[in-house]
Amino acid sequence: MQLSEQELRRRHEREALMEMGINPYPSELFEVTALAKEIKENYKPELNNYQEVSLAGRLMSRRIMGKASFAELMDSSGRIQIYVSRDDIAPGDNKELYNTVFKKMLDIGDFIGIKGYAFTTQVGEISVHVKELVILTKSLKPLPIVKREVDENGVEHVYDAFSDPELRYRQRYVDLVVNPHVKEAFIKRTQLTNSMREYLNNRGYLEVETPILQPLYGGAAARPFKTHHNTLDMTLYLRIANELYLKRLIVGGFDGVYEFSKDFRNEGMSRFHNPEFTQVELYVAYKDYYWMMDLVEEMVEKIAMDLHGTTEVKVGENIINFARPWKRFTMYEAIEHFTKIDISEMDEAQMRETAKKLDLHLDPNIGRGKIIDEIFGEFCEPHLIQPTFITDYPVEMSPLAKKHRDKPGLVERFEAICNGKEICNAFSELNDPIDQRARFEEQLELGKRGDTEAMVLDEDFLRALEYGMPPTAGLGIGIDRLSMIMTNSNSIQDVLFFPQMKPEKPE
């Protein structure tokens, strides 16, 4: 192992501490009674509060000044200044804890526990006067030192920032320590799912779990990851969606079920795509896609209010307003609006010719539905910044959606597009088992033509439909995409703690 000079020094300090009888990784409980943020927000000298506090966290800076020093402690809530006096933490004749341990064997990044009392320094900074100090963890690798300075105009300047995306995503544990703002995006992501869960629970829907390992993949058009189960000697697939299992529960008698699911799709990676992603799927009996549009508007508006206190959210250079009602286009209306071409009556050959005129290069193996999807994705989606419902998709694009009640050749489906990307997909669910079998068989034909994302035929799901599924509305919302918007993040990697990465190159 190639070690730097600092790494070697820290290892020597670890050994020296142990020789002194100080365990650099103690097992004893250190009870924390206060957080840095709490003290800084609530300490009042006139109240004489916070006079007995215990804090724990990383040592982030030190200013050694002989018999006393100032340092900075960072816990999960933020940073606070601490004052360390030799005579307080090392009373009597044995001054090693201060002179040797604190001054020479502690480093930036080490975890310490302190006990003391809050006070205000002469320059007015709320701090903690340390009466006791213990080492909780000796760090063996140095943290990147990010320097921040505020100029005479109050503008903060950052030097030596830990900003390389590959390093940040690969070493998220370092990113969270030295870039405190990163944590806020993940806190908001959790608040988002909590808000959504609260909304669905208050409506009486049941949160459930369905299999991740599936004998057949289904519920979406995507390539799966596959694995092998040794005991059963069979191929299994990581789910690409949980739709077909949740519909089985509607058949079984539940009126409303939802699941926050990890799904996996063996496809390309980009700032909008990660092979492992999270979505929530919801299925409610006796409802249709018009009803589901109203639910989506109401729920996402609530999420914006819960996270930001307003329906307006800044995303890049745009202010996106999630207040109801949202704009609505049919799929064909959107394409005609942005391309000035009406494709609604075109067959596959005519559409290929139209795509060619639009300078859109297509895979020769895809069918009419995928061609429409490619035209929409290229010429419409990027222009839809404010939340917009795209409705009434061609039947070829939606093998699991019910045929439109009024418009032949279309299905009752919508997607919500926001900031140029899809954030949800929903149907009036197809519950006619004969029609569903025919749609699956059409997908099999597309697969034979070379469409690697075509759906497979699921006999057990068809059997479930034959027992009868009530009219049902279904919805899938991409949590990662919605989190990007709600946290003003430019990349999906910024809202995933540990995004998928290429193998790390050896140093």
Does the annotation flag 13 for ligand binding? no
pLDDT at 324: 96
pLDDT at 145: 82
Q: What percent of the chain has pLDDT over 70?
A: 100
- Residues 173-199 as b/e (b if ≥16 CB within 10 A, e otherwise) read ebbebbbeebeebbebbebbbebbeeb
Does the annotation flag 429 for ligand binding? no
pLDDT per residue as tens digits for the range 364-397: 888 888 899 999 999 999 999 999 999 999 888 8
The mean per-residue pLDDT over the stretch 176-190 comes to 94
- Going by CATH, does the domain composed of 5-137 fall within 3.40.50.150? no
pTM of model > 0.75: yes
Domain borders along the chain are 5-137, 147-178, 182-326+386-495
pLDDT at 71: 97
pLDDT of 483 strictly over 90: yes
Question: Of 215, 213, 210, 211, nearest to 456 (Cα)?
Answer: 215
The mean per-residue pLDDT over the stretch 45-70 comes to 95
pLDDT at 68: 94
- Going by CATH, does the domain composed of 182-326+386-495 fall within 3.10.580.10? no
> How high is the mean pLDDT of the chain?
94
Question: Of 34, 125, 35, nearest to 77 (Cα)?
Answer: 35
pLDDT of 450 strictly over 80: yes
CA 217/CA 151 separation, integer angstroms: 58
Q: Hey, what are 52's tokens?
A: 């007995």
